[in-house]
A and B are shown apart, each in its own frame.
Chain A
Amino acid sequence: MSELLLVTRPKYDDGTEYLAYYSSLIIKEAEKEGIQVKDFEGKEADKKNVINFIEKKNPKIIFINGHGDENSLCGHGDAIIFSLDNITLLKEKLVYARACSAGAILGANLAERNNGCFIGYKYPFQFWIDEKWSSKPSNDNAAKLYLEPSNEVISSIIKGKTAKESHERSKNMMMKNMKKVLKLGEKKEPGAMGMLQVLWNNFDGQVLHGNPLAKIE
């Protein structure tokens, strides 16, 4: 039986629109890898739908997009899907939470006695958007610097890499992009430092909890 990937893709502000677009690229990749996908898009990304699905279908890979804080992960309209009350639903799974700060406390609850993993962020996940392309994220080279390395986490997981490998491949891409931006800074490109510090924020903030060797079978 093929693995099952659950994706939440709320779309109700600039940030979530971009995350939703980049997640759609992962959905296409997963389907090419023969992985079944359940996509909770827009308003469907709510607690009732997601929790029901996890309880019934037991997806192995969980990819959460949206807003969050140290203690929660949200879906559509900032409504909480996961909190300390139900985080154990994510045990034994391969979880990537592309959201703010949930890696600090919520994800840390999955560090012990868990054969799965939680990759997320202990700080707010951030990225620059080029307003010229905000209605067409695919053309936005500013956002690409942040969202391609982020996609690498889940892209690596669905290709069978371990949690540690996936986490490190993503960080390596961020390092590569930091060097690219540093070169722009050397050419006195305005905004290079601003772009670099956001890459650093996401690099320093990305954390892995749980079993570093966790992977799909």
Chain B
Amino acid sequence: MSEEKQDEELKELVLARIGIMPPNLKLSIGNFGTFTKQEMIEHVKCGDAAGKQIIQMQISFIKALTSGRLIEILNKNE
């Protein structure tokens, strides 16, 4: 799969994840700002600094899930 196609699929995944968030929640991302669900969607679609930050957080989370690191850490505390 080309990098471009991967990026596109990742963007779609991020948009889907944001899409199911409750409408009353806003995300504060430091000096990038505080964003409603709709604003997050717009930033991800346009690919600006805030949008890239939102996507980067998603990538990091996916890596933690797929590598098992998140579950390993949560289980360590049991």
Within 8 A of A (CB), among B45-78: 53, 57-58, 60-61, 64, 70, 73-74, 77
Chain B interface size band reads: 20 to 34
B13-26 near A? 1/0 per residue, CB < 8 Å: 00001101110111
Would A200 and B70 count as touching, CB distance under 8 A?
A: yes
> Would B60 and A201 count as touching, CB distance under 8 A?
yes
Least CB distance from A192 to B in Å reads: 9
Does B38 count as interface, using CB distance less than 8 angstroms? no
A111 interface residue per 8 A CB criterion = no
Per-position binary interface string of chain A over residues 189-205, scored 1 when its CB falls under 8 Å from any chain B CB and 0 otherwise = 01101101110110110
Please determine whether B28 and A127 come into contact, CB atoms closer than 8 angstroms. yes
Q: Say yes or no: A204 contacts B26, CB within 8 Å.
A: no
Contact check, A128 vs B25: say whether CB atoms are below 8 A apart.
yes
Q: Which of chain B's residues have a CB closer than 8 A to the CB of A130?
A: 24-25
In the bound assembly, the distance between CA atoms of A194 and B57 in angstroms comes to: 10
* A126 interfacial contact with B, CB 8 Å: yes
Q: With contacts A15-B34, A175-B74, A197-B57 known, is A191 near B21, CB below 8 A? A: yes
Report Cα–Cα, A132/B22, bound state, in Å.
12
Contacts of B20 in A (CB 8 A): 190-191, 193-194
Q: A129 contacts B25, CB within 8 Å?
A: yes
Residue among A78, A124, A193 making CB contact with B29, cutoff 8 Å = A124
Give the distance in Å from the alpha carbon of A162 to the alpha carbon of B43 in the complex.
41
Complex Cα–Cα for A200 and B74 (A): 11
Known: A193-B17, A197-B58, A204-B64. A129 touches B74 (CB 8 A): no
In the bound complex, CA of A172 to CA of B78 (Å): 11
Choice from A132, A182, A193, A194 contacting B24 with Cβ under 8 Å: A132
CA separation between A35 and B74, bound complex, in Å? 35
CB neighbours (8 Å) of B21 from chain A are 190-191, 194
- Choose one: A78, A128, A201; the contact of B61 (CB below 8 Å): A201
A124/B24 contact (C-beta < 8 A), A197-B57, A204-B64 known: no
- Collect the chain A residues with CB atoms within 8 Å of residue B36's CB: 131
Residues of B within 8 Å of A67, CB to CB, are 30-31
Question: Hey, which bits of chain B sit against chain A, CB under 8 A?
Answer: 17-18, 20-22, 24-34, 36, 53, 57-58, 60-61, 64, 70, 73-74, 77
- Complex A-B: 10 CB contacts under 8 Å: A14-B34, A18-B28, A74-B31, A124-B53, A126-B27, A129-B25, A182-B74, A190-B21, A194-B17, A194-B21
